[in-house]
Structure 1
């Protein structure tokens, strides 16, 4: 099963990884660590809350105006 990982840099270092299909979040010191930790979190979530995933979400970015 393919799921989505959205990674952002953490202020304290490393990365935060988010899975939008399940709402689970994890972190790691590297991209690989963050994804591995997220994989474990998603698998544990799906063991408790099985669900049929309806495909990957549309992930995009958009710009917002910054205060001057």
Structure 2
């Protein structure tokens, strides 16, 4: 079974921070590639103990949108 999650990356000082809002899992790395590897590992560890019902809801492709708001 293939599971799909949304990951948000941002740079903080010397680190790249990776956040999975679907699960509330966060990781980091000194490079973007390391942060990607680390968040995958963190998600895999999280899913080892997650209830099957929670895991099953992530089989659909997530939809992410960025919107712009003009400051009033």
State the TM-score bracket (shorter-chain normalisation): 0.7 to 0.9
Q: 1:17–1:25: 8 Å Cα contact kept in structure 2?
A: yes
Q: Which runs of 5+ in 2 are unaligned?
A: none
Instruction: Using the TM superposition, give the Cα deviation of residue 66 of structure 1 relative to its aligned residue in structure 2, in angstroms.
Output: 5.3
Separation of aligned partners in 2, 1:19 and 1:44: 13
Q: Which residue of 1 aligns with 2:63?
A: 58
| TM-score normalised per structure 1 | 0.76
Q: Which residue of 2 aligns with 1:22?
A: 23
Higher helix proportion, which one?
2
Structure 1 residue ranges (4+ consecutive) displaced by more than 6 angstroms after TM superposition: none
| TM-score normalised per structure 2 | 0.72
Please, what is the CA RMSD of the aligned residues? 1.9
Q: 2:18–2:39: 8 Å Cα contact kept in structure 1?
A: yes
Q: Which runs of 5+ in 1 are unaligned?
A: none
SS in 2 for 1:60: coil
Q: For residues 17-67 of structure 1, what are the alpha-carbon distances to aligned partners after superposition, in whole Å with 9 as ceiling and x for unaligned?
A: 111322211111111100111001100100011411142322121224459
Distance 1:2 1:31, change over 3 A: farther
Q: Considering Cα pairs closer than 8 Å and 6+ residues apart, tell me whether 1 or 2 has the greater RCO.
A: 2
